[in-house]
Amino acid sequence: MNENVVNPEIRNLKDFFYFIRKELRPKGKIFTPFNIISFPIILLGAALVIIRLLKGLGSVTNLSQEFPWGIWIGFDVMVGVAFAGGAYILTFVVYILRQEKYHPVVRATVLNGFLAYVFYAGAIFLDLGRWWNIVNPIIGNKFGVNSVLFLVSWHFLLYMISLFIEFSPTIAEWLGLKRIRRILTTLTIGAVIFGIALSTLHQSGLGALFLMAKDKIHPLWYTEFIPVLFFVSSVFAGLSMVIFEGTISHKVFSNQIDPEHHESFNQILIGLGKGCAGALFVYFFMKILILIHSKQWTLLATPMGTWYLIEVIGLVLLPCMLFFHGVRYQNLTVIKMAAIITMLGVIINRLNYSIIAYKWYVPLSQRYIPSWMEIVITLAIIFTEVWVFRWIVNRMPVLRESPEWVYEEKTLPKEIIIRKEVPKWKASVM
């Protein structure tokens, strides 16, 4: 696909539209198995979305007065945002700690994070009964400042902007806008710092939403530390997603990646695995502390207790040990397996808070089980996100090297530093 990559010379608006029109055309094969499966689902999902908008939530969902939040919140938003956590962690590692080793995966992760927020947090839009009022907390009709959800909604918006700024130099490189790219790169570090602060708060904020459901969430899961648990779990959720998504991307888009990065990628995976192992251990330790302090271990003997142990032992401790093993013996297969188990664990954990351990006392016959239409719409959202991701990766320098001119610009000030002829501020490339 590298041959398709063009280095556009955009001088005026006409060039710009010509370029965009050219890029909008599909690249690569159209009838791939993935397309054949995903396209009908996206179409069906779109039709169901229209029904939902015209006839109300009840027409496509199984939501009830007992269970007002279903998988669109419990899975799409809660899990989607946790998985998007990789963006704030990797930008922290690369831009704040300056671990250049992880630089090759930053762009894909930030893009993935941005799209996750747009699509999965966008699922909120479908879930809102009165979606036309979605701007109310932003425009001040009215500001419900005492609400955790107010904080989360503002943070979603601001964080999406931060992620877009972090990603924007890539778009500038794609369009060949040299001057604009230089300006956008200077914004990156600010966006990163702001983004990390926002992420800390809204990752934990999603957990804090459940604090007022004290009487409804099983005591093994309910603790005043839910926000901290959500934050820590977003670390390994995000990193596991980077391992998972990175592995797939490296297979699917392997022609975009130069051999040097192919090699370094394995080392990156091991590094990420190390991070996951640490975060999982911290999380496990916290879970144990909370359990001991709550003095509720007698509940472990109940059916919900078994379910709790499956989550904590099977989906937290087990992948934690697998990660340690994989890192110790440099075994990538084990690391990838552990990443998948971790992701499963995060899905189960978020569903527990929103659906499974939520009102655990309600008998199964009256419980919420998602309708096929809710699942189709969720799948359609995921597939659309993958389509957009693929479209961008095939066109912009996300996985492949930036165009030559980016390096040309950088070498100049670097040489000058060596000659020590210019004041330092000119050389500060962020």
Partner 1 sequence: MEINRRSFLKIFGIGMAGAFSGGLLLPKNSVGVTKNVEPEFYGILVDTTRCVGCRSCEAACAEANHLPIPDISDQSVFEKERKTSTTQWTVVNRYETEKGEVFVKRQCMHCNQPGCVAACLVKAMEKRKEGPVTWDTNCMGCRYCMPSCPFEIPKFEFQSANPKIQKCNMCWERLKKGEKPACVEACPEGALFFGLRREIIHEANRRIYQKPNDYFPHIYGEHEVGGTGYLYISKVPFEQIGFRTDLGTTPYPEFTKGFLYSVPLVLLLWPSFLIGVNALTKREEHKGGRIK
Map the footprint of partner 1 across residues 34-73, applying CB under 8 A.
Answer: 53-59, 61, 63-66, 68-69
Select the residue interacting with partner 1 from 1, 20, 43, 128 (CB under 8 A).
128
The pair of three-digit structure tokens given for residue 366, joined into one six-digit string: 């009256």
Q: In whole angstroms, give the CA distance from residue 323 to residue 327.
A: 6
Based on the shown chain and the rule CB under 8 A, indicate whether residue 408 belongs to the binding site for partner 1.
no
> What is the nearest approach in angstroms of partner 1 to the Cβ of residue 297?
19
Based on the shown chain and the rule CB under 8 A, indicate whether residue 264 belongs to the binding site for partner 1.
no
Based on the shown chain and the rule CB under 8 A, indicate whether residue 142 belongs to the binding site for partner 1.
yes
Based on the shown chain and the rule CB under 8 A, indicate whether residue 158 belongs to the binding site for partner 1.
yes
Using the minimum distance from each CB to partner 1, give the nearer residue, 133 or 302: 133
The pair of three-digit structure tokens given for residue 215, joined into one six-digit string: 């009487």
Residues touching partner 1, count (CB under 8 A): 78
Select the residue interacting with partner 1 from 4, 32, 147, 330 (CB under 8 A).
147
Beta bridge partners of 217: 358
User: Residue 249 in contact with residue 241, Cβ under 8 Å?
Assistant: no
Based on the shown chain and the rule CB under 8 A, indicate whether residue 213 belongs to the binding site for partner 1.
yes
Q: In whole angstroms, give the CA distance from residue 208 to residue 201.
A: 10
Select the residue interacting with partner 1 from 179, 251, 419, 424 (CB under 8 A).
424
Q: In whole angstroms, give the CA distance from residue 309 to residue 277.
A: 19
> What is the nearest approach in angstroms of partner 1 to the Cβ of residue 132?
9
Using the minimum distance from each CB to partner 1, give the nearer residue, 63 or 356: 63
Select the residue interacting with partner 1 from 143, 285, 297, 405 (CB under 8 A).
143
Based on the shown chain and the rule CB under 8 A, indicate whether residue 201 belongs to the binding site for partner 1.
yes
| Helix or strand run (H / E) with residue 269 | helix 259-294
Angle ∠(180,182,184) on CA atoms, nearest 5? 70
Considering only 193-201, 267-275, 308-316, 364-372, which stretch makes contact with partner 1 by CB under 8 A?
193-201
Considering only 11-19, 133-141, 247-255, 295-303, which stretch makes contact with partner 1 by CB under 8 A?
133-141
3-state secondary structure at position 59: helix
Q: What are phi and psi of 358, to 5 degrees?
A: -80, 120
Using the minimum distance from each CB to partner 1, give the nearer residue, 5 or 344: 5
- Return the number of other C-beta atoms located less than 10 Å from residue 34's C-beta: 12
Burial label for 261, CB within 10 Å (0-12, 13-18, 19+), is: middle
Residues 227-246 contacting partner 1, CB under 8 A: 227
Based on the shown chain and the rule CB under 8 A, indicate whether residue 328 belongs to the binding site for partner 1.
no
Cβ partners under 8 Å of residue 265, min gap 6: 104, 105, 246, 250, 257
Select the residue interacting with partner 1 from 34, 50, 129, 416 (CB under 8 A).
129
Nearest to 155 by CA among 106, 208, 197, 111: 197
- x-or-dash string of contact with partner 1, 346-385, rule CB under 8 A: ------------x---------------------------
Q: Which residue in the block uniquely carries the two structure tokens 């590094």? A: 271
Which amino acid does the sequence have at 390? R
> What is the nearest approach in angstroms of partner 1 to the Cβ of residue 182?
13
